[in-house]
Structure 1
Amino acid sequence: MANASGLLVIERILRDRQGIWQQVVEDRSLARLTGQMLMSSVIALACYGAVLGSFNGVLMALTSAAKLPLLFLVTLAICLPTLYLFNLVFGARLSVRQSLALVMVALTVTAMLAVAFAPIALFFLITAPDYGFFKLLNVSILALSALVGLRFLTGGMRVLNEHGLLSPAKPAVEQQQEAPAGAPAVPAAPAAVPANGSGGTATLTAPAPAPVQAPAQAVVPPGYMLTPIGGHQHQRPGRPAPKPAQPTPPSMTLLYIWILLFGFVGTQLAWTLRPFFGSPGMKFSLYRDIDGNFYAEIFRTLSNLF
């Protein structure tokens, strides 16, 4: 699975996501991995774009097949420098390759989920060819696919946080550590002293320490509780102590801000590159005049549909 190429890279992402995150952490062969994800994403988005444009004929299908991959890649090119600079400002140690690989994982998952919904979109296109319903259906599919892809992105950033790549590098510290308080002292080795009037030596052996008798355990009457309800619970023997929760680095907070930025840029770019579906009753055109915005169009479609 580690050498999966082309469209099979999505199978590795879904089955071996920990291996993907470890590869990103180690910055190992990321150029090849990113190339595989880029190729699979472009093919999947082109297939789904053809489904979108098929509502208005073959020419619109071919145009949308080229526009949809362009939409995601241009949005990525616009927003990726912001994510990288956010990480640099707050001391994260991510390289450009690592940042790009993380975002490409999210984009690949989004593209593959969208193309998995393509048969459903085609089914409704054939059985219920209503323009408003078809447009809202596909917007919902793309939104759901993007949410799942962004969940992969946040999961990958959490793994990088666990490996310390989102925190500033700590200064070097001395390797020698102080002994814990209350540790028993180690007895010194016996000293060799000269024997009486001879050149040899005799070893003075210290007397063995008296065995320490363990304190007798108190007899607890039946039904008596050592720890009151709501009191401190001692750690059970043999069970590791829970790890303290790591503080959320600023890079994780800025990641959510960046996701919102990515969404706003993507929706506005989609509005600029329209049409993707091709409105019925209008002539074919490669682009429309820039008027209004994406959200106003969605609200208008909802009001006309209901």
Structure 2
Amino acid sequence: MSANSPGLLIIERILRDRGSIWQQIVDERDLNRLSGQMLASSAVALAIYGAVLGFFNGPLMALTSAIKLPLLFLVTLAICLPTLYLFNLVFGARLSVKQAVALVMVAITVTAMLAVAFAPIALFFLITAPDYGFFKLLNVTILALSAIVGLRFLTSGMQVLHSHGLLSPARTPEPEPALVAVATPTPTETLPAEEKKPAVVGAPAANGDGATAPAAVPAAAPPPPVLVARSDERVWDPAQQRYKVARPTGVATERPASMTLLYIWILLFGFVGTQLAWTLRPFFGNPDSPFALFREIEGNFYAEIIRTIANL
């Protein structure tokens, strides 16, 4: 079965043949269908994993977590995507909205599928070690590791787009170099000083016995000039008797501003996502508290994680 077969799941295509995914995004070909497949797959996977999180408190919490976890990722994407797209335009990138959405959806799909792959492990610890603090820390670690792998796919995709010139401003074509005549040097033999005598073309030479020596061979005409492109980087290599292109050494390739911005945007995406998760809590449901669809907004996500680690 080929990577583009309709029977192949989108996550299998991303993992097995990600090159075709990047090329499809570069060509901006059928991105609506691709993004729709990734959206559906990631929503289902996140809903399954959210249900596992909520089962710690009961079926009702499992149902609400199955709704809130996909909502968490999609709302975070809706908040942060305009920043990524507009700042890329400011720095000269030529990404379209569809390309930006498809790139980020690849990262979310990989994150969601890795998270649902960890669901049996989380369910195992839920059954065998139902400790609220440990279960919460375990699942936060699973989601963090899955997100790191997913965002790694995002950076790989942006690097592919950079290699195709989509993260740099369009360049005006440079004029073709003019052709100039360059004389081709010819190697000469080194003779002793006493043998370097001018040859007389066509004149007979007499030896010591008075015999006439054969006429000297006419000297070869110099080779015609060669037309080459004028370039400051072409230099003559006397060792190899040919022109070579001199490449500058010690010049590092600069990272485009769009790639630097991407890493900043990833940090922003993480901060927005964690704060939104704190706003949409509970996902696990504290067994010491009654069921609630939302909690009061107090503290922050990072303070809660530090407090949970201290109480283990």
Alignment of 1:59-74 (within 5 A): 59-74=60-75
% identity of equivalent residues: 74
CA contact (8 A) 1:132 1:301 kept: yes
Give per-residue Cα distances to partners, 1:247-270, cap 9 Å, x unaligned: 210000000000000000000000
Whole-angstrom distance in 1 between the partners of 2:45 and 2:182: 64
- For the aligned residues, what is the CA RMSD? 2.5
Whole-angstrom distance in 2 between the partners of 1:284 and 1:81: 35
Counterpart amino acid of 2:98? R
Whole-angstrom distance in 2 between the partners of 1:242 and 1:40: 49
* Corresponding position of 1:257: 264
Alignment of 1:123-162 (within 5 A): 123-162=124-163
CA contact (8 A) 1:4 1:12 kept: no
Whole-angstrom distance in 2 between the partners of 1:258 and 1:15: 27
Classify 1:169/1:289 alpha carbon distance in 2 versus 1 (closer, same or farther; 3 Å): same
* Corresponding position of 1:274: 281
SS in 1 for 2:9: helix
Classify 1:209/1:53 alpha carbon distance in 2 versus 1 (closer, same or farther; 3 Å): farther
Number of aligned residues: 255
TM-score using structure 2 length: 0.77
SS in 2 for 1:55: coil
Instruction: Check if 1:287 corresponds to 2:294.
Output: yes
* Corresponding position of 1:118: 119
Report the CA distance between 1:28 and its aligned residue.
Answer: 0.7
Report the CA distance between 1:246 and its aligned residue.
Answer: 3.9
Give per-residue Cα distances to partners, 1:50-107, cap 9 Å, x unaligned: 0000000000000000000000000000000000011000000000000000000000
Give per-residue Cα distances to partners, 1:182-205, cap 9 Å, x unaligned: 5759xxxxxxxxxxxxxxxxxxxx
CA contact (8 A) 1:109 1:149 kept: yes
Counterpart amino acid of 1:282? S
CA contact (8 A) 1:34 1:101 kept: yes
Give per-residue Cα distances to partners, 1:155-199, cap 9 Å, x unaligned: 00001111111000101333x3235895759xxxxxxxxxxxxxx
Give per-residue Cα distances to partners, 1:121-171, cap 9 Å, x unaligned: 001111111000000000000000000000000000001111111000101
Classify 1:179/1:246 alpha carbon distance in 2 versus 1 (closer, same or farther; 3 Å): farther
* Corresponding position of 2:178: 178
Classify 1:105/1:245 alpha carbon distance in 2 versus 1 (closer, same or farther; 3 Å): farther
Classify 1:64/1:169 alpha carbon distance in 2 versus 1 (closer, same or farther; 3 Å): same
Whole-angstrom distance in 2 between the partners of 1:97 and 1:91: 17
Report the CA distance between 1:210 and its aligned residue.
Answer: 6.5
* Corresponding position of 2:208: none
Instruction: Check if 1:100 corresponds to 2:101.
Output: yes
Whole-angstrom distance in 2 between the partners of 1:14 and 1:250: 28
* Corresponding position of 1:36: 37
Instruction: Check if 1:24 corresponds to 2:31.
Output: no
* Corresponding position of 1:195: none
Report the CA distance between 1:299 and its aligned residue.
Answer: 0.4
Classify 1:270/1:177 alpha carbon distance in 2 versus 1 (closer, same or farther; 3 Å): same
SS in 2 for 1:56: coil
Classify 1:171/1:56 alpha carbon distance in 2 versus 1 (closer, same or farther; 3 Å): same
Report the CA distance between 1:2 and its aligned residue.
Answer: 1.4
Classify 1:210/1:123 alpha carbon distance in 2 versus 1 (closer, same or farther; 3 Å): same
CA contact (8 A) 1:94 1:166 kept: yes
* Corresponding position of 1:56: 57
- Residue ranges of structure 2 left out of the alignment (5+ in a row): 186-218, 224-239, 241-246
SS in 1 for 2:56: helix
Whole-angstrom distance in 2 between the partners of 1:300 and 1:25: 45
* Corresponding position of 1:90: 91
Identify which range, 106-115 or 246-255, moves more after superposition.
246-255
Give per-residue Cα distances to partners, 1:194-229, cap 9 Å, x unaligned: xxxxxxxxxxxxx98568xxxxxxxxxxxxxxxxxx
Counterpart amino acid of 1:66? I
Whole-angstrom distance in 2 between the partners of 1:155 and 1:183: 49
* Corresponding position of 1:217: none
Counterpart amino acid of 1:113? L
Whole-angstrom distance in 2 between the partners of 1:147 and 1:105: 13
